């Protein structure tokens, strides 16, 4: 990771860690970099955070000042930006969002011309430019100054693409949607209604400050209650920029990213569409998923945490399905990035074609007890390199006697250390996690 760009773009508290001046300079550089041989075309989307409007205008100002044309999708999802970039010949795309973070955070995600996350070497050039005292990029003048273009049409084309994908009508299926007061509030609702579902929606009234607030995929208990209360067949919860999806079955039970990979992996293998019979996961996936895949004859790869690494593995090896426990699911045949609404459509397909309830499709997947603790710390790198802490983590895993594992890592987007333990029982999970947490506390790293 660079100075500003992490695994999911340039992220920070709005006008604190990520300022309007940063956004202007990012726009300036991208307009210059992609406009060396032609007039650059760059598309911008944003989520519903109040600061997203500020960053949109700053980026557009930077782009046009460097001579690029800025096409504005307005409020939309991250995957829609990826779709528009790769299907309509834009030089790159920018999504303004901090995903599942609170409203006061924001981020700048840059997507290359092929619809994937921007190359690290280009991010490094942007960082170098941001830190320069003198601005050595020329300002466009006269007719070379760029223009801004209202491009809601691009988002509408993405909606049409999603609507075209399901193979069955959703008529009479009772579906609940938790839109997290974010990007999904228009997209998901429009798609499910167009496909004929009886659609029940919550948290679809964004005000700039309520995105992800006790709702969406990070607070799925709201959707669980809603599904039970309304007697729905299934529910889907998205995050702020709608690149994640978690589901709830008809009984109100959570279907996380691992269960979604199991449902969709099984479905695609049955159809002969699971390339190389392999699913790409991250190291955070539950041991129960691998045991279930073994029974089905499905192979799997494990990457570092981050949909960026899942995507890279899929592209390098020609795999068609991958994702994270958190709900970033990538369907390589249909998208280049995690897409929450697309994921929900694929789950609907699996349910309707099999003519089974969604709870029945998860019966072969038994979750291993797992405990995940997020610790806010003074310095992530110091914790990860402290010998006492590392020794405690090794001892905790050794104490599981091969019937479990310990994963101890730093967050790529927040000042957190994540301690995850899987074991044969909840008690063993807690015992192992407490050993690591106590060591971190004893060293004085907890905030």
Which residues participate in the annotated binding site for Mg(2+)?
99, 239, 241, 243
DSSP of 145-170: S--EEE-HHHHHHHHHHHHHS-SS--
Residue 353 in contact with residue 268, Cβ under 8 Å? no
Token code pair at residue 361: 């499709």
Whole-angstrom distance, CA of residue 324 vs CA of residue 416? 18
Nearest to 28 by CA among 73, 61, 76: 61
- Among the listed residues 51, 52, 82, 99, the single catalytic one is 99
Whole-angstrom distance, CA of residue 429 vs CA of residue 212? 29
Nearest to 218 by CA among 194, 195, 244: 244
- Residues 6 or more apart in contact with residue 98 via CB below 8 angstroms: 11, 47, 49, 105, 106, 107, 240
Buried b / exposed e along 163-176 (16+ C-beta atoms within 10 A): eeebeeebeebbbb
Active-site annotation holds for 326: no
Helices (H), 35-99: 50-65, 78-87
Whole-angstrom distance, CA of residue 46 vs CA of residue 52? 6
- What residue has token string 């309007």? 20
Residue 140 in contact with residue 65, Cβ under 8 Å? yes
Whole-angstrom distance, CA of residue 131 vs CA of residue 25? 10
- In the DSSP assignment, the letter for residue 410 is E
Residue 185 in contact with residue 204, Cβ under 8 Å? yes
Pairing of the two strands 148-150 and 174-178? unpaired
Buried b / exposed e along 57-74 (16+ C-beta atoms within 10 A): bbbbbbbbbbbbbbbbbb
Strand residues in 179-288 grouped as ranges (E): 198-202, 234-238, 245-248, 254-255, 278-282
Q: What is the largest CA-CA distance in the chain?
A: 71
Whole-angstrom distance, CA of residue 108 vs CA of residue 96? 5
Nearest to 116 by CA among 78, 155, 82, 90: 82
The residues that are catalytic are 99
């Amino acid at each position: 990771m660079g100075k500003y760009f992490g695994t999911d773009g340039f992220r920070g508290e709005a006008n604190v860690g990520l300022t309007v001046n940063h956004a202007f300079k990012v726009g300036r550089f991208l307009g210059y970099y992609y406009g060396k041989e032609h007039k650059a075309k760059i598309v911008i989307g944003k989520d519903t955070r109040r600061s997203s409007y500020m960053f949109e205008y700053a980026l557009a100002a930077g782009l046009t000042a460097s001579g690029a044309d800025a096409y504005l999708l307005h409020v939309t999802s991250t995957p829609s930006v990826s779709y528009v970039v790769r299907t309509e010949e834009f030089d790159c795309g920018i999504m303004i969002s901090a995903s599942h973070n609170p409203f006061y955070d924001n981020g700048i995600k840059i997507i290359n011309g092929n619809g994937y996350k921007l190359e690290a070497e280009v991010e490094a050039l942007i960082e170098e430019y941001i830190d320069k005292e003198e601005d050595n990029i020329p300002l466009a003048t006269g007719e070379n100054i760029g223009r801004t273009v209202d491009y809601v049409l691009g988002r509408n084309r993405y909606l049409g693409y999603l609507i075209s994908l399901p193979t069955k009508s959703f008529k009479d299926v009772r579906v609940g949607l938790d839109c997290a007061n974010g990007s999904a509030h228009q997209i998901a609702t429009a798609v499910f209604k167009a496909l004929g579902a009886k659609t029940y929606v919550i948290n679809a009234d964004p005000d700039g400050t309520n995105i992800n607030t006790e709702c969406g995929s990070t607070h799925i208990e709201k959707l669980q209650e809603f599904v039970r209360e309304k007697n729905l067949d299934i529910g889907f919860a998205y995050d702020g920029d709608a690149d994640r999806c978690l589901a709830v079955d008809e009984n109100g039970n959570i279907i996380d990213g691992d269960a979604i990979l199991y449902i969709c992996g099984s479905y695609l293998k049955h159809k002969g569409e699971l390339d190389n019979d392999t699913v790409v996961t991250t190291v955070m996936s539950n041991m129960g998923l691998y045991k279930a895949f073994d029974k089905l004859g499905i192979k799997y790869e494990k990457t570092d945490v981050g949909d960026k690494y899942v995507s890279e593995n899929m592209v390098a090896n020609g795999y068609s399905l991958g994702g994270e426990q958190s709900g970033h699911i990538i369907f390589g045949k249909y998208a280049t990035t995690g897409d929450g609404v697309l994921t929900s459509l694929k789950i609907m397909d699996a349910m309707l074609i099999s003519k089974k309830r969604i709870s029945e499709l998860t019966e072969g997947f038994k979750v291993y007890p797992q405990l995940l603790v997020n610790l806010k710390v003074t310095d992530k790198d110091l914790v990860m390199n402290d010998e006492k802490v590392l020794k405690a983590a090794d001892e905790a895993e050794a104490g599981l006697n091969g019937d479990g594992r310990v994963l101890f890592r730093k967050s790529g987007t927040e000042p957190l250390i994540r301690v995850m333990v899987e074991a044969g029982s909840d008690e063993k999970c807690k015992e192992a996690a407490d050993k690591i947490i106590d060591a971190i506390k004893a060293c004085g790293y907890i905030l």
